[in-house]
A and B are shown apart, each in its own frame.
Chain A
Amino acid sequence: MSETKTNLLEAPFELSYKYKRSSGPVMSKFFEALGDKKILGTKSKAQKVFAPAAEFDPQTRETLTDLTEVGPGGVIESWSWVHQPSDHHLLQIPFAFALIKLDGADTAMLHMISGCQESDLSIGARVTATWSDTPTESITDIKHFTLEL
């Protein structure tokens, strides 16, 4: 430990551990589809489409198993610009975290928007998914979203 100006001890700490979890029957299909460059949502009896796929309708508690493809385009519902990405961010240049309502979906998905300036973004603007060339069946198979031309 090192001493600060006030003579209190200080030390950097790192807490890190790996764990394995089951994605479950619905989310497994969602992740597998990402590997095929497809985004899946789940549809309720009332035809409401949750995307990313949800296992339950939080309002009706209905179990959702009816998978349906959505996107890959959508509209920005809300966004927040990251001026200075930290080491932990997947993108190392300024980007936006955004809630994106994909075509065919009734709910929004959190992802990143890159390849633009902060001033290019607006609520309602259309974006589309940019896919990774090395799919791992995880949410990062979508590298980020970009503004539609």
Chain B
Amino acid sequence: MSSDQTPKDYRESLIHLEYQYTAGSATTTFLNQVKEGRLVGQACPKCKAVYVPPRGSCPRDGIATTIEVPLTDKGCIESFTVVHIPIPGNPIVPPYVCAMVRLDKANISFLHLIQGVEIEDIRIGMRVQAVWKPKEEWTHSLENIKWFAPIDEPDIDVSTLRFKEA
């Protein structure tokens, strides 16, 4: 950017999209459970991989994940990032930590917040558990979980989480 550019060169533009989201049957089932404070994944009948949140099919085998697998709200941090740049409209004040959380028995992880710990103490393999909102605030959303916080259990070697063919 050259220094002779005046602010007049810059124009504010707006992207605005409105759409109707329809959850598929797998997501509907999952969110109906989340509303009751339960995390239920789905397993592939062939390779037995457990997906949470489930999308209804196994990307490895290309078949429907028909087996429901109740999971706990405990897991470990598979990877994480410290967010320093504020996102417009996002109420969370940086710096904060987003992590891929791998629930116990699950074969995939999902993105959530980590709180209740100094950022410099967060590490891959750390054991965490969901901190839920008050029950009366539960909706069809993973935001029912405020964040994941560390629990007093030994770290997990994430290399052992790698999927092994059944």
Q: Is the CB of B23 within 8 A of A12?
A: no
Contact with B along A106-142 (1 / 0, CB 8 A): 0000000000000000000000000000000010000
Contact of B10 among A11, A15, A21, A32 (CB under 8 A): A21
| B81 CB within 8 Å of chain A | no
| B166 CB within 8 Å of chain A | no
Q: Is the CB of B12 within 8 A of A20?
A: yes
Which residues of A come within 8 Å of B, CB atoms?
A: 1, 4, 7-25, 28, 31-32, 138
- Chain B: residues with Cβ within 8 Å of the partner, total of 28
Which residues of B come within 8 Å of A, CB atoms?
A: 1, 5, 8-25, 27-28, 31-32, 88-89, 139-140
| Closest chain A CB from B29 CB (angstroms) | 9
Q: Sorted from nearest, which 10 A-B pairs have the closest CB atoms?
A: A9-B23, A15-B17, A1-B140, A16-B16, A9-B28, A22-B9, A20-B10, A13-B21, A10-B22, A8-B28
State the majority secondary structure of interface residues on A. strand
Chain B residues lying within 8 Å of A1, measured Cβ to Cβ, are: 23, 31, 139-140
| Closest chain A CB from B11 CB (angstroms) | 6
- Nearest residue (CB) in B for A25 is B9
Chain B residues lying within 8 Å of A4, measured Cβ to Cβ, are: 22
A-B contacts, 11 listed (Cβ < 8 Å): A1-B140, A10-B23, A12-B19, A15-B16, A15-B17, A16-B14, A17-B14, A18-B13, A19-B15, A21-B10, A22-B5
